[in-house]
């Protein structure tokens, strides 16, 4: 009779490994789900900033290398995102990157008029960016493109 010595993992080590694997898998799932939720940004004392975007009102125009924007609504606009379309492609940039934008943005009735280098653009979409508060402090929020204005160049 040939008896083999069979060795296995001790019950203490096996239990420790199972607990460690469970904790690691639970942590991975927790961090994965945490990525799905966004921190709420609010404006005007608790209104979700996504709802404030529909109240934004502004006029914009582009002529002779000059961009004109006027805040005609009751919501202060912190900045604008410019979607510049031309020759079959588009680029998106913050207005602060292409113009001398005021650091405080446009308050009620505020206007901006200045040179903007757009290259060979055929169309510009001007999308408002709002500044609100969250648990971690002040944050910016870019409104959806549907709240922007298209300007043909």
Q: Is the dihedral of CA 38, 41, 42, 47 positive or negative?
A: negative
Per-10-residue mean pLDDT, the chain, length 153:
71 92 94 74 77 91 89 91 86 83 86 82 90 85 91 85
The pTM of this model reads 0.71
Are 98 and 82 in contact, with CB atoms under 8 Å apart? Answer: yes
Beta strands in 14-72 (DSSP E): 42-43, 47-48, 58-63, 66-71
Q: How many CB atoms lie within 10 A of CB 137?
A: 6
pLDDT of residue 61: 92
**CA 153, CA 151: separation in Å to the nearest integer?**
6
Q: Which residues pair with 131 in a beta bridge?
A: 140
> How far is it between the farthest Cα atoms of the chain?
99
Its CATH architecture, for the domain 42-152, is Sandwich (2.60)
């Amino acid at each position: 009779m040939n008896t083999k010595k069979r060795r296995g993992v001790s019950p203490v080590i096996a239990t420790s490994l199972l607990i460690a694997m469970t904790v690691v898998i639970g942590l991975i799932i927790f961090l994965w789900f945490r990525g799905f939720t966004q921190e709420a940004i609010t404006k005007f004392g608790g209104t979700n900033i996504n709802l404030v975007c529909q109240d934004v009102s502004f006029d914009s125009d582009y002529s002779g290398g000059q961009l004109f924007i006027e805040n005609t609504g009751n919501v202060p606009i912190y900045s604008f995102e410019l979607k510049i379309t031309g020759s079959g492609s588009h680029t998106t940039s913050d207005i602060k990157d292409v113009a001398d934008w005021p650091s405080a943005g446009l308050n009620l009735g505020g206007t901006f008029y200045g040179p903007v280098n757009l290259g060979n653009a055929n169309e510009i979409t001007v999308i408002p960016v709002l500044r609100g508060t969250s648990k971690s402090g002040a944050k910016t929020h870019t409104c959806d493109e549907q709240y922007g204005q298209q300007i043909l160049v």
